[in-house]
Amino acid sequence: MQATASPQVSGLLRRAKLRHFLRTRRERISPEEVGLVNVERRRTPGLRREEVAALAGVGVSWYTWLEQGRDINVSEEIVHAISNALRLDGSERRCFFRLAGLNPPRRADGERRDGVFPHMRALVESWSSSPAYLTDRYGRIELANGSARSLFQLNASGDNCLEKFFTDADTRAKYPDTEGVARGLVANFRTQSIRFPDDPEFGRIAERLRRASPKFAELWDRHEVDDPYQNVRKFALPSTGVIVFDRVQMRMPEYSESALTVYIAQPRAAAAMRARAFAGVHPGAA
């Protein structure tokens, strides 16, 4: 059995990484870049600790303790201030939040769509015979290929997989194992709400579904959690009969709020042909 690090050891490792992260970011910025006059010869490159502290508006001793990896409390406001002083980009800022023991801030929609979405769209569409889609932290569809739109009857981006299952009888009818799918969806949503404990939208969605679906309310009150990365899904479709898929879910390290889900038909040969058949059932699906 693989041993896991204790919380104390994990904290020490995290703070050691934070120490190296802050030092290297500080050393790469010249005084001239931030408007400081470099009037004397420096033994080390970049900014001094007291200069970073002044730019961020925090105490020199406090910043020194932070960079030394001491166990001190850090607020989101302070992390933002130091991030601005060190001119961190979006990826670096999120890394800083994690190393400081905080949840990273949410990305602006434009940041992710302009950078990653064109590549993700091409990737999702490349699985032409396998349903594939990208969801946000709440389970809302952000991207979906033609097979996924046909299988799940998706009309537009923004459809929520969880809400669609519990509020649409036709969607539930496609699953022979309705009970198992229901439990898995709710447990995964519960897990996501724990990953983002300060986001009130999870509570709003849950309350809306509690009113709309007694089954959801029952499962939600169980407080079950699950974060499946691979499982099996069966679909019963009038045009093709029962199709069995390996359902694989992946999270992108750089964009962990989104999940890429792909349904791979099994057994490989015959089921893949049947999967391609249903992809053409609704060729005009939006």
| Beta-carbon contacts of residue 101 (< 8 Å; ≥ 6 apart) | 11, 14, 74
More confident site: 286 or 118 = 118
The answer, yes or no, to whether residue 280 has pLDDT greater than 90, is no
pLDDT at 2: 45
pLDDT at 102: 83
Q: How many CA atoms lie within 13 A of 257 on its CB side?
A: 18
The answer, yes or no, to whether residue 90 has pLDDT greater than 70, is yes
Confidence of residue 172 (pLDDT cuts 50, 70, 90): very high
Q: Each residue of 44-69: pLDDT tens digit?
A: 778 889 999 999 899 999 999 998 88
| 87: three-class secondary structure by DSSP | coil
Q: Each residue of 93-106: pLDDT tens digit?
A: 888 888 888 877 76
pTM for the full predicted model: 0.60
Q: Each residue of 208-224: pLDDT tens digit?
A: 999 999 999 999 998 88
